[in-house]
Structure 1
Amino acid sequence: MFTPIHTQEFAELAKQKIAEFNALHWDVSKRQQLGLKLENESGELLAALAGRTFGHWFYLESLWLDESVRGKGVGSKLLAEAERIAKERGCSFVILDTLDFQARPFYQLHGYRVEWTQPNYPFTGCKHFMTKQL
């Protein structure tokens, strides 16, 4: 019988088990986290980007900007720096996903294209999966 366990800790354990399995089939030693941040003088976070590089791919997981820095070029510079680091690590492509109310136009402005759109996500919106060749 299956035991329900709806915790973040268990989700992380499941991810770890998949990572262990994957390591049997490819060299994961080159998988690296990629993170960038911008803070103000007080140490408050104004911008954050997080993802990971592996093989030819940079998976951009998160890009967030505080309202006070939006529309001022900070996001463009942050994205360009992450792409530069990814290229330096040997990546040729970027993949990301963004919700319909988030940043699709921003990414398109920077050369990303929609590969696939998941409709009705999570209920009435949609999620766009986007890529870019570096």
Structure 2
Amino acid sequence: MNETPDLRIVASADEAAKAEAAAALYRYNVAATGVDDRAPVGAVLCDGSGKAIGGLWGRTELGLLFLDMLFVPAHLRGRSFGARLLAAVEEAARRRGCRGAVVETSSFQAPGFYARHGYAEFGRIPFAIDGQARVFFRKQLA
């Protein structure tokens, strides 16, 4: 195929195109490493009716736990629900053979939470908002 593709900037995600590119990238990664082990992982907080009201979601891959999103509703914060979610997901990752975990958060979100749970900061990139940054953490699981 010698066709030159068009390049377009998009204002919103084309989920189908993104999913197709992600699948192609994952196939490349599997070919390069010989490892096909990506799997979602998570733990959910549910209300009395069973509706999800918070949780922790991520994935395991190549011996690492990647934490993507943690949310605990305001009325449950400070009551160890975040710690319980984190411990559950870390344990699931250990059972899958993960030796480390990686997470990124914003300076106004949860850096103190991750630090209190054994995560070490390894990078920080300032936002265009004075005094705020994206913060990167890692933790050894094994």
Residues 50, 22 of structure 1: CA spacing in aligned structure 2 closer, same or farther, 3 A cutoff? same
AA paired with 1:2? Answer: D
C-alpha deviation, 1:36, in angstroms = 1.1
3-state SS in 2 of match to 1:102: coil
Distance in 2 of aligned mates of 1:49 and 1:8: 25
1:103 aligned partner = 110
TM-score normalised by length of structure 1:
0.89
RMSD, aligned α-carbons: 1.6
1:51 aligned partner = 58
AA paired with 2:112? Answer: P
3-state SS in 2 of match to 1:131: strand
3-state SS in 2 of match to 1:52: strand
Identity %: 31
8 Å contact 1:46–1:69 — kept in the other structure? no
Q: Which ranges of 4 or more aligned residues in structure 1 deviate by more than 4 Å?
A: none
Residues 67, 44 of structure 1: CA spacing in aligned structure 2 closer, same or farther, 3 A cutoff? farther
1:8 aligned partner = 14
C-alpha deviation, 1:30, in angstroms = 1.7
Distance in 1 of aligned mates of 2:137 and 2:63: 16
C-alpha deviation, 1:46, in angstroms = 2.5
Distance in 1 of aligned mates of 2:27 and 2:77: 39
| 1:19 aligned onto 2:26 | yes
Deviations, residues 68-106 of structure 1 (Å, cap 9, x unaligned):
211111000110111111111111100010001100000
Distance in 1 of aligned mates of 2:98 and 2:21: 27
8 Å contact 1:115–1:130 — kept in the other structure? yes
Distance in 2 of aligned mates of 1:76 and 1:98: 16
Distance in 2 of aligned mates of 1:130 and 1:50: 16
3-state SS in 1 of match to 2:32: coil
Distance in 2 of aligned mates of 1:56 and 1:19: 15
- 1:87 maps to which of 91, 94, 109: 94
Question: Highest CA radius of gyration, 1 or 2?
Answer: 2
TM-score normalised by length of structure 2:
0.85
AA paired with 1:72? Answer: R
Aligned length: 132
